[in-house]
Structure 1
């Protein structure tokens, strides 16, 4: 074990391991926001994703690259090397489990900027509440072992593109598909494997080194994994309501959305970039005030605010003179969810407008996708009319729910069959206020 493998959190010390890339600087700031106090370094860690990428690309290169990565763990508890070693000796680990923030893997290779590449990263998201505003994130529970200590982190994986085997679209797919392995039982692939799968759809460019995937190749990748896709073109829409409604609907269903961005900079041709939308923040009336994106050129849970509307984004890209426009959304979905957003959204608008006309504009509305299991668990804990009758009623496995709120409390649910081809109402539920 190396000397000083336990050290206090500081930007200078972390920069020695993470290097000085844009993503490393972001992670240092992000960890400060999470109140990180102590770091523990594993200096010889076998990372599955990197090992697969190494086998498929770097093992066949003339210059020898290392097979092992480094992994740094972060804690909010302040402790020394001596205390940590005593904890290992005495199995006194509860304070470590309670204060764990997650980890960052550092690959032993460098990017085009000659900075070390950030590998698979799992860090806690921001707190679920910020004053009166609430945050909703896509995240799963991941078990972690540190020298035999069982830890866990609730997060969505992040890593930086390695142009030998992947580009931004590959990483966006890797991030978006990761949580669906547990939800739908699909295989978890490394970035190199995603690039291989995607490029079975013909392109004029080489597979490796990767120059990026086109929209068709991204769709091909998702469909090759026995999933289907929902695509929403928002380039020419008049307002951002469809964007916000779609993001809330799918994030609440724990389905990541891939955003296709157009980056423009004065005197430069436009560039295209892909990110994974991983969460949102809303006020007490449910209006979105902030998005969160896993952007491989910035970092995990990157804060995005509207530039007039959420068709145009404000984030770190603006610091380099780029204007950011959202053009398309791609959502990997389970094939049995047959009612697409494009067909339920007009019905949602129709019902919303009718209720506002009949009862006034003191109501708030949301549309979201869910499963029968999650929905009935919610109803079981709610105060609704005809509760017993509704709970024993047979409903489809997947549901679209249109919910009306009054003063922040649920007032009425109109429920649609998510397995139907066209909107088919299957239930109407009234809450007791």
Structure 2
């Protein structure tokens, strides 16, 4: 027998090569949905026809191929069938270029240089074969359900808002080592495997970290699901598996499963989009079980067909799209389904109680397939996960929703008017990651922010960047659980901060592992909305860790406050506030007030007209006043003499502050002291000296063009 055949890529040749190995009568082969779909799917990869050519692309038939999955199924059931055709399969390989037997023979023999010496452009190399390789399809020795393990190249682009799960499969073609990035597909044979079995099989292939050879065959999966003893005669043929049996199989596989009951909870389409994207972004396929509704009535005039199970392996939610990519054993791999409302298609024939249900509208991949042929309404989602993943998605989602609600409620009232910015659009994305993945992302991240960058009237302080670096190192070196729900929060389209939820914790635990400031400016602005809100739980149910999140922020803030307390003293309220020093809204009335977070590129006298007048005072009696604010900011203003007489509270308003004092012009330098009866008098003499020296270092760093010396009493 010829070990392989090569033909052009056409409908007729595809049908002929499927017939070839076993000689079955497949007269209606292109009436088979899977073949029709796979042909259309592969055709989308083919380049445009060159003028004068009738075809493009090639199919190679590998006559004899031992498929491990079918071999196991054969040994468990088909070997006892009187008319079985043996355990050997065939395999089709697809290429988006033209191939000939002469080219393949020369490549296999290793004499392409000699064979094509006069036609070097026809020489075939392993690299070019790999470049044009579209994948393979196993043909099982069965008359009807012959589509075996199929791995085809993933189509389309990817990016923010779109992803398809894929893993690398090694392919050995007569000793030629090829690879294909895909997730394996096969149709149910309705004997050892029902739709749920193939959905589980696909999900196991998509599960991260699991080798292809570790994945059980469909017959083994069915046996585990039915809980029959090995060798039992009562497990096959198998028609379907229940949700409980699907869960039992995952349990046998040593995996944890997370269920979401869409029928009971009346799940909204928006939640499902977040739910699906989170798991697909985590490289976790989602098994969906539900009811199939045909858009044309069957012989009994009923549009409800049957229960069905599929595996979601991708999504595209960009620009308002609602596309879900599934492996549907009755259709094909990466079949695109659109999320639709059931009532929009069934109209007045929508079953009672199903008016608000959404479903996945399935369509064949071909130019004229614009209308779906059926709608699958999911009742339950089952996600296989690492056995250590105790917390399901809903806890991360509930926490993220409440964080966004808090930001959206408080930022417009406080921060936005304070620094004069519009309210940004706030959103989030969730995925399950290993701590190694999370640390890799954090480690390679370098902030583009620098001291002096502004957000409205607020500018980035050098100390905040120092703190960002310290927190980054703390996250990279800290002791954290292996699996984390990572919640990314966005300011418009810019990632602002990440929150990590320990996925190995329990619902009653304190699962917040940490917060990472991806963008120091946006993160500080957004998280400022939580200051003083630690007692609010954001909803009275147990499906979130919002209180734990606010406590984590408070601990983080307390750590920074402890640093400020040690450097510049604990907060002190002003001993006395004069009526003219504070406005009705509690703000200071000193018009020469300026706040400084970051180093200045100009000297102090260039900041404000009043500062220049102080410096040019020939009597040297005029002076400036300063204070370190509760968040580490430096206040500076003119000390306005009587009769107006505006002192330190005219800068800080009604706020508490830390060490404070005066800045006096000494001709060649500025002298800094701690003379403030309103703020500094309550510290001990030793504390005043310590805090003043630290404040002097801060003032020098903020005004590198000026000279400052400490007052030595």
Aligned to 2:489: 404
Q: Which is greater in Rg?
A: 2
User: Residues 132-143 of structure 1 correspond to what in structure 2 (within 5 A)?
Assistant: 135-143=162-170
Aligned to 1:35: 46
Tell me if 1:415 matches 2:511: no
User: Residues 318-397 of structure 1 correspond to what in structure 2 (within 5 A)?
Assistant: 322-359=374-411, 360=423, 362-384=425-447, 385-386=468-469, 387-397=472-482
CA contact (8 A) 1:160 1:171 kept: yes
The verdict on how the C-alpha distance between 1:333 and 1:167 changes in structure 2, with shifts beyond 3 A counting, is same
The verdict on how the C-alpha distance between 1:238 and 1:176 changes in structure 2, with shifts beyond 3 A counting, is closer
Instruction: Give the superposed CA RMSD.
Output: 2.6
Q: Distance in 2 between matches of 1:65 and 1:182?
A: 35
Distance apart, 1:110 and its partner CA? 2.1
Aligned to 2:137: 104
Tell me if 1:230 matches 2:244: no
Aligned to 1:54: 74
CA contact (8 A) 2:261 2:379 kept: yes
Summarize deviations over 1:139-181 as a string: whole Å, max 9, x none.
2111110010000111111000011211100000111112437
Q: Distance in 2 between matches of 1:152 and 1:277?
A: 23
Aligned to 1:196: 223
Summarize deviations over 1:22-57 as a string: whole Å, max 9, x none.
101100000011228222110111111111111111
**TM-score (structure 1 length as normaliser):** 0.90
Q: Distance in 1 between matches of 2:309 and 2:37?
A: 18
Higher relative contact order (CA 8 A, sep 6+): 1
1:264 to 293, 298, 311: 293
Tell me if 1:302 matches 2:335: yes
Summarize deviations over 1:7-31 as a string: whole Å, max 9, x none.
2211221122343311011000000
Summarize deviations over 1:199-255 as a string: whole Å, max 9, x none.
0179xx952011111111111111112111100011242522321122111111111
Tell me if 1:209 matches 2:272: no
Q: Distance in 2 between matches of 1:231 and 1:288?
A: 25
1:144 to 171, 175, 194: 171
Aligned to 1:170: 197
The verdict on how the C-alpha distance between 1:79 and 1:344 changes in structure 2, with shifts beyond 3 A counting, is same
Aligned to 1:90: 110
Q: Distance in 2 between matches of 1:169 and 1:122?
A: 19
Which is worse superposed, 238-247 or 150-159? 238-247
Distance apart, 1:93 and its partner CA? 1.4
The verdict on how the C-alpha distance between 1:389 and 1:186 changes in structure 2, with shifts beyond 3 A counting, is farther
CA contact (8 A) 1:133 1:281 kept: no
Distance apart, 1:341 and its partner CA? 1.9
2:358 to 302, 305, 311: 311
Q: Distance in 2 between matches of 1:168 and 1:282?
A: 27
Aligned to 2:513: 426
User: Residues 115-126 of structure 1 correspond to what in structure 2 (within 5 A)?
Assistant: 116-126=145-155
Secondary structure of 1:226's partner?
coil
Aligned to 1:9: 9
Q: Distance in 1 between matches of 2:256 and 2:100?
A: 50
The verdict on how the C-alpha distance between 1:146 and 1:90 changes in structure 2, with shifts beyond 3 A counting, is same
Q: Distance in 2 between matches of 1:225 and 1:326?
A: 24
Q: Distance in 1 between matches of 2:409 and 2:11?
A: 55
Q: Distance in 2 between matches of 1:341 and 1:90?
A: 53
Secondary structure of 1:110's partner?
coil
Q: Distance in 2 between matches of 1:186 and 1:68?
A: 18
Q: Distance in 2 between matches of 1:67 and 1:183?
A: 26
The verdict on how the C-alpha distance between 1:323 and 1:253 changes in structure 2, with shifts beyond 3 A counting, is closer
Q: Distance in 1 between matches of 2:101 and 2:82?
A: 40
Summarize deviations over 1:392-422 as a string: whole Å, max 9, x none.
2222100011111234331111111111113
CA contact (8 A) 1:280 1:288 kept: no
The verdict on how the C-alpha distance between 1:382 and 1:164 changes in structure 2, with shifts beyond 3 A counting, is same
Secondary structure of 1:178's partner?
helix
Aligned to 1:219: 247
Tell me if 1:273 matches 2:300: no
User: Residues 70-89 of structure 1 correspond to what in structure 2 (within 5 A)?
Assistant: 70-89=90-109
Distance apart, 1:270 and its partner CA? 4.6
Distance apart, 1:257 and its partner CA? 0.7
Distance apart, 1:375 and its partner CA? 1.2
**TM-score (structure 2 length as normaliser):** 0.56
Matched pairs, number: 423
CA contact (8 A) 2:324 2:337 kept: yes
The verdict on how the C-alpha distance between 1:295 and 1:230 changes in structure 2, with shifts beyond 3 A counting, is same
Q: Whose strand fraction is larger, Structure 1's or Structure 2's? A: 1
Q: Distance in 1 between matches of 2:236 and 2:390?
A: 35
Secondary structure of 2:324's partner?
strand
Q: Distance in 1 between matches of 2:430 and 2:160?
A: 19
The verdict on how the C-alpha distance between 1:58 and 1:78 changes in structure 2, with shifts beyond 3 A counting, is same
CA contact (8 A) 1:223 1:229 kept: yes
CA contact (8 A) 1:402 1:414 kept: yes
The verdict on how the C-alpha distance between 1:118 and 1:339 changes in structure 2, with shifts beyond 3 A counting, is same
